[in-house]
Amino acid sequence: MLQNVTALLVSEGAAWKDVFKTTIFLKDMVDYPEFAKIRMAHFREHDVTLFPASTCVQATLCRPELLCEMEVMALLRGEEHGPGNEGESRHDAS
């Protein structure tokens, strides 16, 4: 999942350093410690030093085989986004 989100960020000209908020939906909160460990390693791999605000909740996910879903909000910069075009770009990275 994190690789999918990375690819989506790159496709929009962004990186993990541009992410300011994540919402994590776990099938079972018992998986949170392992998820947190994986996420921290991923942030380190991408040189993220200021971690985004994050919310994590247990939820019934859209597909029963999924263990986790993630919503990511990032600040997009650059000419294609320009002033006044900071709107969200929505993608499903499940």
Return the beta strands (E) in 1-94 as ranges: 19-26, 53-58, 68-74
In a domain, 83, yes or no: no
Mean pLDDT, 10 residues at a time, over the chain (94 residues)?
A: 91 93 96 95 92 95 93 82 50 54
In a domain, 30, yes or no: yes
Q: How many domains does the chain have?
A: 1
The number of residues in the chain equals 94
In this prediction the pTM is 0.76
Q: Per residue in 41-56, is it b (16+ CB within 10 Å) or e — as a string?
A: ebbeeeebeeebeeeb
State residue 82's pLDDT score. Answer: 47
Q: Give me the phi and psi of 17, to 5 degrees please.
A: -65, -20
Which of 62, 59, 77, 63 lies closest to 9 in space, CA to CA?
Answer: 77
In a domain, 59, yes or no: yes
Residue 26 has a CB neighbour count (10 Å cut-off) of 19
CATH number, domain containing residue 20: 3.30.1330.40
